[in-house]
Structure 1
Amino acid sequence: MDVRDAVEADADRLAELTGAPTDVMTNLVHDRTVRVAVDDDSIVGFVSYDARERTVHVTQLEGSPDTCDRLLEEPVRFAEREDMAVELLVPEPNDDIKTAADDAGFDQVGSGPLFDGTPTVKYRLDS
């Protein structure tokens, strides 16, 4: 599996992975750091994140458990270089992302906000 920066042409595939409209995924690619996992010339997952106020915020993570494990390395590596924490909100229930967060050393720190009525769990990894 290779990981690379996302480009606008990836928006259709990102939309397929999330069920979101293509224009939303195009905006995501423009507005955030987005890294895609590619296996056999096909995008199999992605992570998006941004950094503000000494924290890297993972805004989306999609893929299989192994893909999520690999993709979480991207914002964690960035945060370590910049001496920042990383926060991740995991929609309930999403055991694949919870497992990836646990594997990466994140701590569950409480409940997160509701997104479209779906509860989330907040995870944090301090530098």
Structure 2
Amino acid sequence: MDVRDAVEADASALATLGDAPQESLRNAIHDRTVRVAEEPSAGTDGEGSEDGEDEESTTITGFVGFDARDGTVYVTQFGGSRAACELLLEEPVRFAEHEGMDVEVVVTATDETMRAAVEAVGFEKKGSGPMFDGERTVRYRLKPEPGS
């Protein structure tokens, strides 16, 4: 699985993965740090075309958006497969380690897959988060070890 910066053309795929409006994700790509995980699509061989260009297509399997303010890195949006989310959550954690900040993420209380991904990366439950679209959320926080 490869990780790269998101581009505007990714907004539709991210909206599907994150169950969010495409315009919201397009704005996030412009306003925040957004990274995507992608894998080769089924049926590609990666051998390239006759002109030597690699025509391997990829499928986005997850994304994470984050920003930093007031001494904390906030994961603002993420979604996709659990494996992709675990890999992608390492992005804001690395940023926080480098800047000496904590990381915070809020997950819908009923989303066991995303809660498991957050906990697998090392986040600890810190109580209830705000209501989001009428659903309870759980607030998680991680204080990265300097230089880890």
Which interval holds the TM-score relative to the shorter structure?
over 0.9
Matched length:
127
Structure 2 length normalisation: TM-score?
0.82
Deviation per residue, 1:66-124 (Å, 9 max, x gap): 11110110000000000000000011211111111211111100000001111100000
Kept in 2: contact 1:68–1:96 (CA 8 A): no
Q: 1:56 maps to which residue? A: 73
RMSD: 1.0
Other structure's SS at 1:116 match: coil
Q: 2:111 maps to which residue? A: 94
Q: Tell which deviates more after alignment, 56-65 or 79-88.
A: 56-65
Larger Rg: 2
Gaps of 5+ in 1: none
| Aligned 1:1-127 pairs, distance under 5 A | 1-40=1-40, 41-127=58-144
- The alpha carbon displacement at 1:21 in A equals 2.4
Deviation per residue, 1:20-70 (Å, 9 max, x gap): 222111101011110000111111110000000010000111111111110
Kept in 2: contact 1:112–1:120 (CA 8 A): yes
Kept in 1: contact 2:108–2:136 (CA 8 A): yes
Amino acid at match of 1:87: E
Structure 1 length normalisation: TM-score?
0.95
Amino acid at match of 1:2: D
Q: Give the percent of matched residue pairs that are identical in Structure 1 and Structure 2.
A: 55
- In structure 2, how many angstroms separate the alpha carbons of the residues matched to 1:20 and 1:61? 10
Higher normalized helix content (fraction of residues): 1
